[in-house]
Amino acid sequence: MKSKFIDSLLERENFWYLFALICLLNMLSIYVIHQIIITDPHYFTGGNAKANSLYQNVWVIICIAYPALCFVKVSIITGLLQFGLKNMKIEVPFKQLMSLAIVGEIVFWIQDLAQMVWFLFIHTGYTMKEVDNFSFLSLQFFTKPDTNEAAKTLLNFFSIPELLFWFVLIFGLQLITKVSLKRMAKLVFLTYGLASILYFLLKSYYLYKIS
C-alpha cells in the first residue's frame, strides 16, 4: 500500500505540485527563521548597522529567489542520478527523477521545521548563539559552542535529515527502476553522495580559511 502511494507520488505529472509545495515550505521557513526567530542580527554581522541591513535584505532576496535556486539544485541532483542510471543502461524520465529529488527535499525540510518549533514554541527564551549552534540530530550537537564554522558545517552534514534524504533517493529509485536496493544505494553514493561530500568539504575548507 505504501509503495503504491509513493509510486503514484513520484509520477512525473506531480512534479509541479511537489515543486510548489517545497518552495512554499522553504520560503516560509526562511522568512520565519531569519525575520522572526533571529531578533538580533548583530550577532551574525558583528554589530555594523549597514551589515545588519544587508543581512536582512539578503535573506529577503533569498526567500524571493528560492524557487529558482531550488529548481537549479533539484536539476543538479537529478542530473547526477540520471548520469548514474545511464551508466547502468536504465532509462528513467528526467521529470520523474526531479519529483523524487523534491520528495527528498520535503523530507529534509524537517530540520527547518524542528528549528521553528523549538524556538517559537518550546525554548522561547533563546539566545542568538543557541540559534547559530542549533543542529537537528547531527554530530554538531556534540560540539562545543566555540567550535569554528568549518567544523560545524562538516559535522552538521552527518545528520538524520541528511540520511533520510539519501534513503528517499535510494528507496525511490528502487521503486521506479525495480532494481535492487543494494545497486541503487551504490548508485546514489557514487553520484549524489560523492558530489555532496565534495561540496561540504570545499565549503568547510573555505570557512576554515576565512575564520
pLDDT digits (tens, 9 = 90+) for 99-149: 999 999 999 999 899 999 999 999 999 999 889 878 777 666 655 556 666
Report the amino acid identity of residue 26: N
- Give the three cell numbers for residue 136: 537537528
Distance (Å, whole) CA 35 – CA 20: 22
Question: Which of the two residues, 106 and 160, has the higher pLDDT score?
Answer: 106
**Residue 211: pLDDT above 80?**
no
Reported confidence tier of residue 150, pLDDT bands at 50, 70, 90:
low
Question: Which of the two residues, 80 and 152, has the higher pLDDT score?
Answer: 80
Distance (Å, whole) CA 98 – CA 78: 6
Does residue 81 contact residue 168 with C-beta atoms inside 8 Å? no
Which residue pairs from 82-90 have beta carbons closer than 8 angstroms and sit at least 24 positions apart in sequence?
Answer: 83/191, 84/187, 84/188, 84/190, 84/191, 85/173, 85/177, 85/187, 88/179, 88/183, 88/187, 90/177, 90/179
Distance (Å, whole) CA 23 – CA 17: 10
Per-residue pLDDT tens over the stretch 48-84: 767 778 888 899 999 999 999 999 999 999 999 999 9
- The proportion of the chain whose per-residue pLDDT surpasses 70, expressed as a percent, equals 82
Average pLDDT over the chain, rounded to whole? 86
